[in-house]
Amino acid sequence: MRSLFESHKTQAAAGPRPSRNFRNISATQAEEDSFDYVKYRKNVKFTSVFGSVAHLVKGALGGGILSGHVAYMKAGIGVAMPLNAIFGCYMGYCLYLLVASAQILYRRTRMPSMSYSDVAEASFMTSKFEKVRKLAPAFRYTVDTIICIDLFGSCCCYQIIIAKSLKQLVENTHETTFAGGIPGYPGLRIYLAVMIPFIVLICLITHLKYLAPFSVAANIVIVFCIILSIYYAFILNPHFDNLDIATTPYNTFEFIGMSVFSMSCSGVVIAIENNMKEPHRFAEALGYGMVMIVICTFLVSFFGYAAFLQKCESPITINFPMDLLPKILKGLIALMIYVTHALNFFVPFNLCFYYLKQRHAVEDRPKWELIYRAILVILVGGTGVIFPNINAIMGFLGTFCLSNMAFIWPNLINLLVIWERPGLGHMNWRFWRAMVLIGIGVFIFICGSLVNTMELVAVFIDTNL
């Protein structure tokens, strides 16, 4: 009869395991290094470093970038510009640690690929501490919940962007208000409510291949928004006068939430690594990607604020004059975001439906999938009706959700993964690194969530009471 150690060594050499019962199969560093997880990634259309950079930028620069100018207005350029760069570096390094941890877990558990939730659960499940291992399922559920809140919240922002764009085009006026801008015209909340059935219809499409080309088109439209922002800055404020240097700590936390929201690609980094032809070059792709993300957010934010100053509104296209070309762009933004909303809805819905479908017989699941899709779209749309303010929602999502996903969890996961192998380093420097990075994330989470929750409450009071 084989000994337990011999059985363990045989398992380590046998290739990837098919289950999701995460266990530390590699007993030594040599066994860990011997597993080539890329070789076992089947049915994957591999991407190059260049393609991975494009996916990173695409994953970060969604509707959030259209509100960057408001974020700069809230903090002032003397605060916003350096923080924009600092948070880009901070986020990039934390996400590098997350993916590096995932790659260790691939070799350690003999699993060639994982999702963010898998990595989170596996880091707890393979820990040397028994109490930590018992918390693995709870941590996974927490990660899934926060991811869903973040992505459904993003969908809510997209619906408000569509509604504001449509309202301005219908009223044909540059001045926008929450109520009807012209006597007899409906307010923003009516547009949001009327849109819900149309959002439901497009979100019932389950084959994403029909919608994917529109995602590329949406990115092209956003590039035009950046170009027009720069153009109007030089036309309307060529000397960049009247820009605030700094405002208040309260406004700075609003800026942080919106800025993190507009730059974060935390939800896609592991998926992108899973599809890389050369995953060992992920750090290179991430570095290039974060530089491009920071540059793009700076361009639209700084020049958008310089152009429109204290009259800044979200999305930035609302500020553009009612000439023919800007009108076309406003309409394209509404159309592109309407279509890509269905793409963004797909990920959190699948996460929810993974748990919901367990309650139904296999043959009934297609019917229930459509029902749950409609219910969740209505809930998201209802949230927009109750809190019809893009800035407040983005700020809350950035501090409450993304401070966890992009800052706190990557360092916690990394600390658990490297605790025994390769260890905490000389004078436990890896432990203290994690404590500093987690501490910053916790500070942003607590203070930023408090400030942005107060903003949501203020929006509710202003629009409902």
Domains of the chain are 41-464 (1.20.1740.10)
Question: Residue 27 — φ and ψ, nearest 5°?
Answer: -80, -25
Q: Record the pTM.
A: 0.88
Say yes or no to pLDDT of 357 above 70. yes
Confidence of residue 9 (pLDDT cuts 50, 70, 90): very low
Any residues with CB less than 8 A from the CB of 92 and at least 6 apart, and which?
A: 286, 287, 290
Tell me how far apart the alpha carbons of residues 447 and 459 are, in angstroms, rounded to a whole number.
19
Q: pLDDT tens across 331-350, in order?
A: 988 888 888 788 788 888 98
Least confident of 67-76, 175-184, 260-269: 175-184
- For residue 18, give the amino acid letter: P
Q: Is 6's pLDDT higher than 60? A: no
Q: State mean pLDDT over 45-57.
A: 84
pLDDT band (50, 70, 90) for residue 209: low
CA–CA dist 399, 257 (Å, integer): 5
Residue percentage of the chain with pLDDT more than 90: 49
Token digits for 167? 């309202």
pLDDT at 262: 87
The Cα 300–Cα 64 span in angstroms is 11
Average of pLDDT values for 378-397?
91
Q: What is the mean pLDDT of residues 410-437?
A: 94
Is residue 58 over pLDDT 90? no
264 backbone φψ class: left, alpha, beta (φ>0; ψ -120 to 50): beta
Which two tokens mark 190?
A: 């009516």
pLDDT of residue 36: 87
pLDDT of 114 > 80? The answer is yes
- Following DSSP, what letter does each residue of 79-105 receive, concatenated? HHHHHHHHHHHHHHHHHHHHHHHHHHH
Write out the two tokens for 303: 């020049």
Residue closest to 318 by CA, chosen among 414, 239, 249, 390:
390
What is the pLDDT at residue 46?
81
Distance of CA 230 to the CA centre of its chain: 25
Dist. CA 256–CA 87, nearest whole Å: 9
pLDDT digits 0-9 by tens, 287-311 = 999 999 999 899 989 999 999 998 8
pLDDT for res 178: 80
Go through 220-234 and write b for each residue having 16 or more CB atoms within 10 A of its CB, e for each that does not. Answer: ebbebbbebbbebbe
Q: Looking at residue 120, what is its pLDDT?
A: 94
Whether residue 81 has pLDDT greater than 90: yes
Query: Amino acid letter at 84?
Result: N
Q: What is the spatial distance between Cα 170 and Cα 148, in angstroms, rounded to a whole number?
A: 33
- Looking at every residue in the chain, the average pLDDT score rounds to 87
Q: CB–CB of 160/192 below 8 Å?
A: yes
pLDDT at 204: 87
* Residue 428, both tokens: 């436990």
With bands split at pLDDT 50, 70 and 90, how would you rate the model's confidence at 212? Answer: low
Tokens of 434: 């994690």
Closest CA to 259 of 303, 286, 294, 221: 294
452: closest CA among 395, 394, 380? 395
Distance CA 36, CA 13 (A): 11
